[in-house]
């Protein structure tokens, strides 16, 4: 599918040069000259990549970047005449994927765009391959047993070994209620002796990481279950 690129740049000559070069490479291009329109066209145009100038006439490129990354998972290349390392670091921290300083060679821009798209294609291909064997829970949470990976909205989450084992066991037995003693036996591999708080602690950690407390339900007086 042809990639779409949104240019947010107030210098007409630079915007025209980038637009011409990108269209020549086969991309679908839309160009706007201010941050407000940039945010609006991000919603309407749904680009695959954004080229964003830092110095805009209405609002800061940093504010545009922050607004977009809070709502969309779209790669952003920031372009500016400023060479300040602080600006570069801030832009990257706000979610920009790359940073180019003016004046620039359009060939460099094209190389960086291809690099970003290539990286995205590799990630998407990896996700598609993983999609062959996963258990889905909650809102767009996928558990891959063989890879021991938990993905939420296509982003990998960090789980400690026993946290993963416990979540995986409950996911493979959706709807079934297990006591703390049973979970100790099934997940930790030993029969219940003494305190079962280790199960409670692991459940709390899992809920916090998933950010969906209702996925694992507490059945009072009995134990836990993972809802369908």
pLDDT digits (tens, 9 = 90+) for 75-131: 999 998 776 677 677 777 777 888 888 889 999 999 999 999 988 887 777 665 555
Q: What is the pLDDT of residue 34?
A: 96
Considering the segment(s) 4-129 as one domain, its CATH architecture is: 3-Layer(aba) Sandwich (3.40)
* Res 41 pLDDT > 90: yes
Which residue from 123, 151, 154 is spatially nearest to 209, judged by alpha carbons? 151
Cα distance between residue 90 and residue 211, in whole Å: 27
What are the beta bridge partners of residue 32? 8
Q: How far is CA 109 from CA 87, 98, 118, 220, 225, in A?
A: 19, 10, 14, 59, 51
Q: Which residue has the higher pLDDT, 211 or 42?
A: 42
Q: What is the pLDDT of residue 7?
A: 98
Q: Could you confirm whether domain 135-226 is CATH 3.40.50.300?
A: no
Q: What is the pLDDT of residue 167?
A: 95
Cα distance between residue 200 and residue 119, in whole Å: 39
Cα distance between residue 86 and residue 167, in whole Å: 41
Q: What is the pLDDT of residue 133?
A: 78
pLDDT averaged over the chain?
88
Cα distance between residue 125 and residue 157, in whole Å: 18
Most confident of 6-15, 67-76, 134-143, 177-186: 6-15
Percent composition of the chain: helix, strand, coil (DSSP 3-state, to 5)? 45, 20, 35
* Res 38 pLDDT > 60: yes
212 sits in which H/E element: none
pLDDT digits (tens, 9 = 90+) for 202-222: 999 999 999 887 899 999 989
Q: What is the pLDDT of residue 131?
A: 54
Q: Where are the domains of the chain?
A: 4-129, 135-226
Q: What is the pLDDT of residue 192?
A: 47
* Res 136 pLDDT > 80: yes
pLDDT digits (tens, 9 = 90+) for 150-200: 998 888 898 988 899 999 999 999 999 999 989 988 888 765 455 678 889
């Amino acid at each position: 599918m042809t990639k779409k690129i949104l240019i947010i740049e107030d210098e007409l000559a630079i915007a025209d040069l980038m637009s011409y070069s990108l269209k020549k490479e086969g991309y679908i291009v839309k160009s706007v000259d201010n941050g407000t329109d940039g945010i609006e066209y991000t919603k309407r145009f749904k680009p695959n990549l954004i080229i964003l100038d830092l110095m805009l006439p209405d609002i800061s490129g940093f504010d545009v970047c922050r607004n977009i990354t809070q709502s969309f998972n779209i790669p952003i290349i920031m372009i500016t005449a400023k060479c300040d390392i602080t600006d570069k670091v801030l832009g990257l921290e706000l979610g920009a994927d790359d940073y180019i300083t003016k004046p620039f060679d359009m060939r460099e821009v094209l190389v960086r765009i291809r690099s970003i798209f290539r990286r995205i294609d590799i990630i998407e291909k990896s996700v598609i391959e993983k999609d062959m064997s996963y258990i889905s829970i909650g809102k767009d949470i996928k558990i891959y047993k063989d890879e021991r990976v938990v993905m939420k909205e296509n982003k990998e989450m960090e789980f400690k070994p026993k946290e993963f084992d416990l979540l995986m066991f409950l996911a493979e037995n959706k709807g079934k209620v297990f006591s703390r003693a049973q979970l100790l036996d099934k997940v930790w591999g030993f029969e219940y002796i003494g305190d079962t708080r280790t199960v409670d602690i692991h459940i709390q950690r899992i809920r916090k990481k998933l950010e969906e407390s209702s996925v694992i339900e507490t059945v009072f007086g009995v134990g836990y279950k993972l809802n369908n």
